[in-house]
């Protein structure tokens, strides 16, 4: 089903996850594919969308229209009653069979920009595919300064805004699968080291004698796995990012070409999570005396949010609540 909505063109497909591969484009869409002109406004080109990608929490890490849009298929309904009937019937059938899944296909283009393609089908399966190597004149999306893995802001932006903004906002999911996909060709550690060296050493531009290397699925999967593990630690630097993940996600699995690399059970991780040193968590709370109270208030809210959504919390409710009360006294 194709539909043109205000400010954005989206492809929405109600499907089983087993058939999603046939719906993906075989090559990257043109720069305007995710933000077609509407009311005289032009789409955002890749270059301008990429210019500010090194800003923390910036949607400029991700290619697309800069304005928030609440996606809706409502405009399609009055235009085609038959389509509406078939769509409603399919949704009802998938809900009854518990096979209704949101599928998001994301391409890493030229090793620097993320292009999300929303596909509609209790789990979310996201496929990340890499297209092309970094351009010689483009800055590194990983090591632009002393901070590492800058493109991870783009990955987090997609995840956070899927939970908060679309589809419909306030999304909770029992299972989130991130599958990093490529052609599956053999690889070696030498090429990966050269790729990392290219980004670390040549942060502004790549000299002519160096051949740009396109990333492999396993390299991206390793980077994202480490980033997720860090976020879920809720430490001094990452607690700001982990708060919503614990409230909204049951489990998170990282795959490479469909093979599981790491599984995070957020309920099991949340149950024992505790801090007794205000310098170890909630960096954004001042004065520091407020940090531990803020952490425990967040954990109570996270447990309640998970219970409200039917997500597991890793231990009996009474046990978790008693643990929080006792640890707050320390």
Q: How far apart are the first and last CA of the chain?
A: 57
pLDDT for 298 beyond 90:
yes
pLDDT band at 330 (very low <50, low <70, confident <90, very high): low
Residues 153, 101 contacting (CB under 8 angstroms): no
pLDDT for 142 beyond 70:
yes
Domain for residue 153, yes or no? yes
* Token representation of residue 116: 């999300």
Say which residues have a Cβ less than 8 Å from residue 194's Cβ, sequence separation at least 6: 213
What is the number of structural domains in the chain? 1
pLDDT band at 105 (very low <50, low <70, confident <90, very high): confident
pLDDT for 4 beyond 80:
no
Residues 268, 244 contacting (CB under 8 angstroms): no
Q: Tens digit of pLDDT for each residue in 234-256?
A: 999 899 999 999 999 999 999 99
Distance CA 220, CA 227 (A): 11
Domain for residue 293, yes or no? no
* pLDDT at site 243: 94
Name 63's bridge partners: none
Distance CA 112, CA 134 (A): 6
Domain for residue 286, yes or no? no
Domain for residue 256, yes or no? no
* pLDDT at site 294: 93
pLDDT for 91 beyond 90:
no
Domain for residue 44, yes or no? yes
* pLDDT at site 139: 78
Name 116's bridge partners: 106
Name 259's bridge partners: 256
Domain for residue 13, yes or no? yes
* Token representation of residue 108: 């890493």
Greater confidence (49 vs 118) lies with 118
Poorest-confidence range of 74-83, 145-154, 221-230, 273-282? Answer: 74-83
Distance CA 105, CA 179 (A): 10
> Which of the residue ranges 5-14, 31-40, 73-82 has the most confident prediction, judged by mean pLDDT?
73-82
pLDDT for 52 beyond 80:
no
HSE-up of 221 (CA within 13 Å, CB side)? 25
Backbone dihedral region for residue 49 (phi beyond 0: left; psi -120 to 50: alpha; all else: beta): alpha
pLDDT for 5 beyond 50:
no
Domain for residue 275, yes or no? no
* pLDDT at site 317: 80
Residues 112, 62 contacting (CB under 8 angstroms): no
Distance CA 172, CA 164 (A): 9
- Domain containing residue 22: 2-215
Residues 242, 232 contacting (CB under 8 angstroms): yes
Distance CA 319, CA 330 (A): 17
Q: Tens digit of pLDDT for each residue in 190-238?
A: 898 998 888 888 878 888 888 888 889 999 999 899 999 999 999 998 9
Greater confidence (51 vs 77) lies with 77
* pLDDT at site 6: 26
Residues 187, 216 contacting (CB under 8 angstroms): yes
Q: How many CB atoms are located within 10 Å of the residue 280 CB?
A: 16
DSSP 82: H
The per-residue pLDDT of the chain, averaged, comes to 74
Distance CA 204, CA 221 (A): 24
* Token representation of residue 248: 């909204």
Domain for residue 325, yes or no? no
Distance CA 266, CA 101 (A): 20
């Amino acid at each position: 089903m194709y539909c043109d909505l205000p400010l954005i063109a989206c492809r929405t497909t109600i499907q089983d996850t087993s058939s999603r591969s046939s719906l993906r484009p075989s090559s990257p869409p043109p720069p305007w594919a995710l933000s077609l002109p509407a009311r005289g406004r032009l789409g955002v080109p890749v270059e301008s969308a990429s210019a500010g990608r090194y800003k923390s929490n910036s949607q400029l890490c991700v290619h697309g229209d800069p304005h928030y849009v609440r996606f809706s298929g409502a405009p399609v309904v009055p235009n085609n009653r038959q389509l509406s009937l078939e769509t409603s019937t399919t949704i009802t059938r998938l809900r009854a069979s518990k096979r209704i899944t949101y599928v998001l296909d994301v391409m890493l283009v030229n090793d620097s920009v993320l292009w999300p393609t929303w596909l509609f089908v209790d789990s979310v399966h996201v496929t990340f595919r890499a297209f092309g190597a970094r351009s010689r004149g483009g800055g590194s999306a990983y090591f632009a300064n002393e901070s590492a893995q800058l493109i991870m802001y783009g990955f987090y932006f997609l995840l956070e805004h899927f939970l908060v903004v679309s589809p419909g906002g306030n999304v909770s999911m029992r299972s989130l699968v991130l599958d990093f996909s490529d052609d599956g060709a053999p690889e070696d550690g030498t090429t990966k080291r050269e790729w990392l060296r290219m980004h670390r050493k040549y942060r502004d531009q790549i000299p002519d004698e160096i051949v740009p290397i396109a990333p492999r699925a396993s390299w991206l999967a390793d980077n994202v796995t480490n980033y997720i593990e860090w976020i879920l630690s809720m430490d001094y630097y990452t607690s700001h990012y982990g708060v919503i993940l614990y409230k909204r996600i049951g489990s998170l699995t990282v795959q490479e070409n469909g093979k599981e690399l790491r599984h995070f059970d957020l309920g099991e991780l949340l149950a024992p999570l505790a801090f007794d040193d205000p310098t170890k968590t909630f960096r954004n709370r001042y004065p520091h005396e407020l940090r531990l109270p803020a952490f425990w208030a967040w954990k109570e809210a996270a447990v309640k949010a998970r219970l409200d959504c039917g997500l597991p919390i890793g231990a009996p409710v009474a046990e978790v609540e008693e643990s929080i009360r006792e640890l707050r006294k320390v």
